[in-house]
Structure 1
Amino acid sequence: MIEDLAVANLLKNHTLARAISDASWRMFREFLTYKCFWYGRELIVNDRWFPSTRLCSQCGHLGKKLPLNVREWTCLCGAVHDRDVNAACNTLAAGLAVKACGADARPQRGNLRPGQSAVKQETRRATAGIPVR
Structure 2
Amino acid sequence: MDTKFSVALHILTMISESKEVLSSQALAESVGTNASYIRKVIALLKNAGLITSQQGRSGYQLSKSPKEMTLLEIYFATQEVEHINLFQIHQNANQACPVGQHIENAMSPIFSNVEEQLEKELGQETLDNVITNLYQSANQKCI
Q: Which has the higher helix share?
A: 2
Q: Which has the higher strand share?
A: 1
What TM-score, normalized to structure 1?
Answer: 0.26
What TM-score, normalized to structure 2?
Answer: 0.25
Structure with the bigger RCO (C-alpha within 8 Å, sep 6+) is: 2
